[in-house]
Amino acid sequence: MSAIAASLVYIAWLLVDMIRMRPDAARMAFDLSFSVLLWLSGGFAVTLVLLMFPWAFAVWLRSRLRLSGGIFFPVVGAFFIVVIGCAMASISPKPLWIEDQTFLEGALIAAARQGLSFMLSGIAFGASYWFVTERQFSVAGR
């Protein structure tokens, strides 16, 4: 559920950015398809897979520290997705016309270009995780 929420935020961010650059309703399907392609090839999908390991540590840490999950999980989700997302964007395949760059240069470029979308996706990831797994639901009529 959390990966879906984060992916939807990321794809919506890419789609809105593409539509903002060239507002053409006829190209909306192409822009949506291209956003999904960037989600797959740009490193974000791999980021969500690699997020399993640090996320297990974050859940364990939260149980030990007894912090508020409503704040802890969105902040930790944003941090992890920004860090892992920038690393994955740095090592993801690039078109041939992009100059060679070091890992750190690629990560800094990804942070500058996609940092805000990574952060918002991470907040959505953490908040949806908290909402589904940690939040106490009250049963109507009890």
Give the whole-angstrom CA distance, residue 72 versus residue 61: 10
All structural domains of the chain with their residue ranges: 2-134
pLDDT of residue 20: 78
Query: If you average pLDDT over residues 10-16, what whole number do you get?
Result: 82
| Cβ within 8 Å of residue 127, ≥6 positions away | 5, 70, 73, 74, 77
3-state helix, strand, coil split of the chain in percent (to 5) is 80, 0, 20
Contact (Cβ atoms closer than 8 angstroms) between residue 10 and residue 123: no
pLDDT of residue 142: 52
State phi, psi for 97 to the nearest 5 degrees.
-80, -5
pLDDT of residue 97: 61
For 15-66, what is each residue's pLDDT tens digit?
888 777 777 766 777 778 877 887 777 778 888 888 889 999 999 999 898 8
pLDDT of residue 136: 65
Q: How confident is the model at residue 138 (pLDDT cuts 50, 70, 90)?
A: low
| Cβ within 8 Å of residue 2, ≥6 positions away | 77, 124, 125, 126, 128, 129, 132
pLDDT of residue 3: 84
pLDDT of residue 108: 86
Give the whole-angstrom CA distance, residue 101 versus residue 99: 6
pLDDT of residue 98: 67
pLDDT of residue 79: 94
For 97-123, what is each residue's pLDDT tens digit?
667 778 888 888 888 888 888 899 999
pLDDT(4) > 70: yes
pLDDT of residue 125: 92
